[in-house]
Structure 1
Amino acid sequence: MPLRDVRPDDLDAFFLHQQDERANLMSAFAPRNPSDRGVFDYHWAHLLGDDATEVRTIEHAGRPVGALVCTRVDGVDELSFWVAREFWGQGLTTSAVDGFLSTHRERPVRAHVPEDNLGSVKVLTRRGFREVGREKVFSNARAEVVEELILELPDA
């Protein structure tokens, strides 16, 4: 399984991943200024310091290639993930999500995904996530409002 605990030096790799403009456009939810290390460090300190948030590094060949985060929002676990673009299409996201879901038994689990992020939609729907709603949200990366699918893996 490609998931492990986050190590301090993983953050440097995550910050570099965040500089990929194309990947930011696909995820749609990049910070307003992805090159601001202070904002990045603040965000990650908050994630890693929150006992209700599970954060894992996605690793491949000994390298941190992405992250998986599960946090509780309004009483429901919300899953998000990011894999560096150079590793798209290699099954790493699929393996990470499968590994997470095999150990995380809390249901339901939700994910919010831009409707045009077909790779992430495919990973989630093949794992049993179903659309339970849509909402329009502002995307800093795209500087426009995007349609977001709300996908949910229901109680077993």
Structure 2
Amino acid sequence: MQDVNVTWESPGAFIHVDSQPWLPMSDSQQQGGIEWKLMYARPGNSRWTVMYRGPAGSAIMPHIHAGEAEGYLFYGKVTTSTPEHAGSGEGFILEPAGAHHPLTRLLEDTCFILTMDGPIRWLQDDGSELVQTPESAMAEWARQNAEHTGTH
């Protein structure tokens, strides 16, 4: 089992999902209590995998995917902007490079995993952008995990 620093150099690994804590997403990235688990990231590699869960009524703030993303909706109901972009129940998620989501709403208690290629650009209210790369996600995860476990 991997430790909470979710980086490794070996070509294969198995991580028990329950071995990683659920940590709160940044307020600039969510509203309503969405949590995340960084399941995979490695410096210099553009692919990274994150699990998300949140209660009904929560939302992931506006963002743009630089590269393609794919994942799996375990349960819940999500809509990204229009009814035809809603997913409900179990299902596969496909995001094209450049996908722009004004607001991703969790209409029910929801859990999904997403593997992304490249950074996410978080669109701020003031028109600026915060770019989240696999490396910056790793740094945020390490910081939050140290606070969570009390190991600074």
TM over 0.5: no
The normalised TM-score by structure 2 is: 0.30
The normalised TM-score by structure 1 is: 0.30
Indicate the structure with greater strand content. 2
Indicate the structure with greater helix content. 1
